Amino acid sequence: MTAFIFFVPAVFSPVFFIIYWVEGGPAYALTYGLLMLLVVWAGLPLFFRLIMKMNYFLYNEKDKPSKKP
């Protein structure tokens, strides 16, 4: 599910940038389109990396119950 959440915006973000350019003009596209691209291409990977680091610290290997009988 995480891959779907990341890759769908990454795939569609250039499409939205083109739509912003066509519908709103260059100023609108360069303002909001580039901001959207920055969030999707830089913000989401950093956010998911942070989640993975939090997951590592919350569920560390030593916290798992031992399998000894």
Q: Please write the tens of the pLDDT for every residue from 4-19.
A: 766 787 788 888 888 8
Evaluate whether residue 62 is within a structural domain.
Answer: no
pLDDT digits 0-9 by tens, 19-44: 889 999 999 988 888 888 888 888 88
* Domain span at 37: 2-53
Evaluate whether residue 17 is within a structural domain.
Answer: yes
Evaluate whether residue 33 is within a structural domain.
Answer: yes
Evaluate whether residue 12 is within a structural domain.
Answer: yes
Compute the 3-state secondary structure of the chain and give helix, strand, coil in percent, each to the nearest 5.
85, 0, 15
pTM, full prediction: 0.51
Evaluate whether residue 63 is within a structural domain.
Answer: no
Long-range contacts of 39-48 (CB under 8 A, 24+ apart): 40/9, 40/10, 40/13, 41/10, 41/13, 44/5, 44/6, 44/9, 44/10, 45/6, 48/2, 48/6
pLDDT digits 0-9 by tens, 55-69: 877 776 666 666 666
pLDDT for the residue 68: 62
The residue whose two tokens read 């003009």 is: 25
Say how many domains are in the chain.
1
pLDDT for the residue 25: 92
